[in-house]
């Protein structure tokens, strides 16, 4: 940890770290444009930010980190050359990073319709996640060809299929718990904190169900300039907020027993 990182880290309360952080990595194109470089140069530079963020998160003991790498819309709306570049970059990252992921005890997972990705990319993804499967530390999830609405559609399909296997429509059951159990993120807690870089105030079809109670932190920093220290600053801001889950605040004028009204009592702040 460098000096700047340790300064921010010392201000954090280690007992109240978020259990799951989700990041919308944005601003690669603008970073490149400001330097009169092609857009893909921004994506290439963004890999160093991924590396730094992942390592810092694992080192301070964040249990889960999810990165929005490519949305379903990215495939449809970006030039073929940029999409191909992103694919090659991802494959190179997966190959190069296995050693570091293992050294940091990080398990790699994915969310998104991966069956629609090129087969060569799917193979690379499978190899990398297989190589880290035994790791017991942080879960790093890459959202690839991901769309929250598609995820919810897939969850409902999966619930309907479960009912069909179980004797038909009269066995169709649905509640919040069941929907969560059929999402791609069934193995993860809901994010406590979502970070978006480059100043945009949108969720862009990212984890719409899971972010229901998340704190949102938007930084002006463009993704290629984002490093571990910016992650720690986001966590510091998160720790300064009071999470209410629809209950009342800590204001003494409203002194009710609001703790009982909160579903995640251990995370209240």
Q: Are 106 and 240 in contact (CB under 8 A)?
A: no
- State which residue, 146 or 217, has the beta carbon closest to ligand FPP: 146
- State which residue, 29 or 228, has the beta carbon closest to ligand FPP: 29
Task: Given the residues 28, 74, 135, 145, select the one marked as catalytic.
Answer: 74
CB of 46 to ligand FPP, least distance (A): 3
CB of 82 to ligand FPP, least distance (A): 8
Q: Are 186 and 111 in contact (CB under 8 A)?
A: no
CB of 198 to ligand FPP, least distance (A): 6
- State which residue, 69 or 235, has the beta carbon closest to ligand FPP: 69
- State which residue, 45 or 155, has the beta carbon closest to ligand FPP: 45
Give me the residues that bind ligand FPP (CB under 6 A), please: 25-30, 43, 46-47, 50, 67, 69-70, 74, 89-90, 93, 142, 223
Task: Given the residues 2, 7, 13, 26, select the one marked as catalytic.
Answer: 26
- State which residue, 9 or 70, has the beta carbon closest to ligand FPP: 70
C-alpha–C-alpha distance, residues 121 and 151, integer Å: 20
CB of 24 to ligand FPP, least distance (A): 8
CB of 75 to ligand FPP, least distance (A): 10
Residue number of the CB atom closest to ligand FPP: 29
- In this structure, the number of other CB atoms found within 10 A of the CB of residue 236 comes to 15
- Clarify whether 74 is annotated catalytic: yes
Q: Any residues with CB less than 8 A from the CB of 157 and at least 6 apart, and which?
A: none
- Clarify whether 105 is annotated catalytic: no
Which of the residues are catalytic?
26, 74
């Amino acid at each position: 940890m460098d000096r700047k990182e340790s300064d921010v880290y010392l201000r954090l309360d280690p007992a109240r770290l978020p259990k799951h952080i989700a990041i919308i990595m944005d601003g690669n194109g603008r970073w490149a444009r400001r330097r009169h470089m092609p857009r893909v140069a921004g994506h290439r530079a963004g890999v160093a930010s991924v590396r730094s963020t992942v390592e810092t998160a694992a080192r301070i003991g964040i249990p889960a980190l999810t990165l929005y790498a490519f949305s379903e819309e990215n495939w449809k709306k970006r030039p073929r050359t940029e999409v191909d570049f992103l694919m090659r970059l991802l494959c190179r990252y997966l190959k190069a990073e296995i050693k570091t992921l293992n050294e940091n005890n990080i398990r790699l997972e994915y969310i998104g319709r991966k069956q629609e990705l090129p087969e060569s990319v799917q193979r690379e993804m499978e190899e990398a996640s297989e190589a880290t499967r035994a790791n017991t530390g942080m879960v790093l999830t890459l959202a690839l060809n991901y769309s929250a609405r598609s995820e919810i559609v897939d969850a409902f399909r999966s619930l309907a299929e479960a009912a069909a296997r179980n004797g038909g429509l009269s066995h169709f059951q649905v509640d919040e718990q069941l929907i969560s159990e059929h999402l791609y993120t069934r193995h993860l807690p809901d994010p406590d904190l979502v970070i978006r870089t480059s100043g945009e105030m949108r969720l862009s079809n990212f984890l719409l169900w899971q972010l229901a109670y998340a704190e949102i932190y938007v930084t002006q920093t463009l993704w290629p300039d984002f490093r571990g220290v910016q992650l720690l600053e986001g966590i510091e801001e998160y720790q300064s907020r009071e999470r209410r889950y629809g209950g009342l605040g800590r204001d003494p004028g409203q002194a009710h027993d609001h703790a009982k009204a909160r579903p995640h009592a251990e995370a209240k702040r």
